[in-house]
Structure 1
């Protein structure tokens, strides 16, 4: 309702100062009412003009009054004062808002007089509920991030288990390598204990396994450090979520902020007095960085495990292949030694028969041991020889030939005996070498058997072994 002033007559009542003071008071009150846009008048039985000053006509300078048409009677003044008093009594005690609409101002009450406290409480409840919902969203984001950190920790823990199993496998292989080297030192002969290709392969395998073990131990230390970082990040996220959840006791758990169908809200601006504090932002960013580092570490561990399995298998197969080749070489030499020893024994038997024949010939050439055992035709003093030697220069060559033949037979006998001795020594050496080769082949075969039995193929998951193959 529009604020209107009460029209007054032009009758001069009392002194001029009294009238001017009253007009100023009315104008001041009307101006204050319009400035504060408060006040709601009740319709009086008499219409009011838009300005209080329009109902007054100031006095002339010479002190003369206005015309008779502008004067009012005492009854009209009394009636106007009664109307104003009624308007004051009917005016509500609560203030209302005045909203401009064109050139007129309409008085509109925004709330009922008795609902002010309820509306203030409702507004406060709405603000608190909105804050709590935002806090629930922040808490949900923190707990979801904590869940992702926990899942990453589980995956990294699985990779840590793979690393430990791989390290156990490497330690087992190092023990097998040491036992293989010690086993090959039990080869019988001195010649077989010299370092060969298989020993160099075992040394290469030991260095390769030691290097792999050192690399995997470093990766295991990094994994343990990353697991501690993930655990600390998860605890910080849960602490922040618990701290944020301190204002969520009166918020229902089935609200949209915690539901699965609600969209995930990303908070970018942090404020110490807002639901998303700088601490929450810092914890989320650090946890995201930690998760990314953990993912990169898992990829590096997987590649390192695959490479380690490949190198371990390559070194193991190289040593086994070298030992197999060594055994094949030893068996080949053993077979050749067997054949040569048989040929040497045959030569020994032939030489022995030859020596026996030579000795028998030499003995026959020497004649009987007693002169009484000689035949008459063998004696040099037989009559025919004595008659023949009566003339000078008629000596028979029989005695010289017998002496020369005996000497030649004795020389052949000595050389044959020497050859027989050498054949016997060679045969003994071949038999000894054959025994050593047979024992060396058995030792190497035992080493290979031990290596194949001690290597546990179930030490690592099948998918890692398939990826390394």
Structure 2
């Protein structure tokens, strides 16, 4: 009896299950494998850097070799023919024994000690910020101290310049006193000379010095205000930075020394054993070295350099003006002394002339007196009781002859002629004597004028030497000019007079 075969037995497929059913199962299995591999790779990739994830386009057994290849040393040829192995560039720990340099490892997921690590990192940031604030405060404090020192130097120089300005003003008062004193000379001694020109030149030079010193004082005053403002700004910035620091366990000078520099403004740097210090950090609005601090330090650096130049210029001007003022005063005193010597020579010459004229006047006066006596003798006696025998006109000879009238005798005519000639000589002598007396009077007046001029110039020189002494202040010289008048005696205190 024949056996009947089923339709499934007649086909060559030994499997009983349907292909769709079997493919569905395989699809689920492949999907499960893909999910498992993906999740495993993602789970591992979370703990590895991004560049350590395998490339899907590279075969599985070649991924590790391709990943490790950049870690190996590179061989470079040398010019001499040899070669040298160098590690690849970048961060990481170099393994010289294995000739490899793995890159730095960065995880993309927080570690189990992530909280502690973040706390340590925050503490490091806070400590770095505190150190930066302390260093910035130290820089600002040192700059503030240097600004204070510069302000003190500028103030001292201003005091010196102000003292020199008072000396120049006192020199103007001395010049005014000298001109005022020389104005009391006689009119014959007021002829303009080189001493007057020297006084005028001294006045002009002192005015120029005064103007120059006043400009220096004004310039230094403006600079002092700017320095004080910059110092206040530095103090405010330093105080603001110090608010960040809770515990100042190190002095600010020590912080600057650790930073490798003693002066951030670099005005007067003290040599340190460190060869190179830290560079100035860039300004950071949210950091420790803010733009305000940078601007304050830059302004301090600029002002310190400017004030240094200003101080040097003011000191040089003060020294030059002191020397020039002393030279001018000496030259004026020398001119007055020369004028005194010339006046003394003229006085001696006038005195000699007056002495010679005095002898001539005495001789002329004596000769005039003798001529007056002679004229009286020639005129004859005033009374008949004074007549002598030889002077009588009735002498025996005249009485005997009686040939001539008494008025026609030659004796009377000759007497009249002699008397007239003698009178003319007397008049001429009187005229010459009056002229001699007039000239002597003029010489005496000129001599007295020269003496007064000499005394005035001597008093001017003495006054100048006394008034320019450093112990004489400007107020004393000003009171002397305002109150003193050589033509009037000093005022006496009534209360003192009563006592």
TM-score, normalized by the shorter chain, greater than 0.5? yes
Cα 1:109–1:399, aligned 2, differ >3 Å: closer, same or farther? closer
**Structure 2 residue aligned with 1:212:** 209
1:386-401 superposed matches below 5 A: 390=403, 397-401=410-414
Q: Is the 8 A contact 2:157 2:311 kept in 1?
A: yes
- 1:170 to 1:251, Cα distance in 2 relative to 1, 3 A: closer
1:291 is matched with which residue?
304
Instruction: Give 2:331's match in structure 1, choosing from 318, 330, 340.
Output: 318
* TM-score computed with the length of structure 1 as normaliser: 0.73
Q: Which residue of 2 aligns with 1:336?
A: 349
Specify which of 341, 355, 365 is matched with residue 368 of structure 2.
Answer: 355
Aligned equivalents of 1:194, 1:123: Cα separation in 2: 96
| DSSP-derived class of the 2:170 partner | helix
The aligned runs of 1:367-382 (5 Å cut-off) are 367-380=380-393, 382=395
Distance 1:444 1:255, change over 3 A: closer
Query: What SS does structure 2 have at the residue aligned with 1:224?
Result: helix
> How far off its partner does 1:141 sit?
2.1
Conserved 8 A contact 1:270-1:276: yes
Whether the 8 Å CA contact 2:133–2:289 is kept in 1: the answer is: yes
Aligned length, in residue pairs: 387
Counterpart Cα distance in 2 of 1:414 and 1:330: 38
Q: C-alpha distance in 1, partners of 2:447/2:241?
A: 85
In structure 2, runs of 5+ residues without a counterpart are: 1-16, 48-66, 71-101, 262-277, 474-499
Q: Is the 8 A contact 2:138 2:256 kept in 1?
A: no
Residue in 2 that maps onto 1:307: 320
* Cα pair distance change 1:429/1:39, threshold 3 Å: closer
- Aligned-partner SS, 2:243: helix
Counterpart pick for 1:230 among 203, 207, 227: 227
* 2:237 matches 1:240: yes
1:151 aligns to 2:157 (yes or no): no
Q: Could you say what the CA RMSD is over the residues aligned between the two structures, in angstroms?
A: 3.4
* Unaligned ranges ≥5, structure 1: 1-11, 41-99, 461-469
Tell me the residue number matched to 1:452.
465
**Cα gap change, 1:454/1:259 in structure 2, threshold over 3 Å: closer, same or farther?**
same
Taking a change above 3 Å as real, the CA distance of residues 255 and 399 of structure 1, as seen in their structure-2 partners, is closer
**Offset at residue 216 of structure 1 (A):** 0.5
Structure 1 Cα separation of the partners of residues 443 and 236 of structure 2: 83
**1: distance between equivalents of 2:183 and 2:439?**
26
Match of 2:443 in 1: 430
Residues 1:115 and 1:311: Cα distance change in structure 2 (over 3 Å):
same
Separation (CA, whole Å) in 2 of partners of 1:32 and 1:280: 54
Whole-Å separation in 2 of the counterparts to 1:238 and 1:447: 56
Cα pair 1:169 1:459 within 8 Å, conserved: no
1:86-107 residue CA offsets vs partner (Å, 9 max, x unmatched) = xxxxxxxxxxxxxx6569x9xx
1:5-44 to 2 correspondence within 5 Å?
A: 15-38=22-45
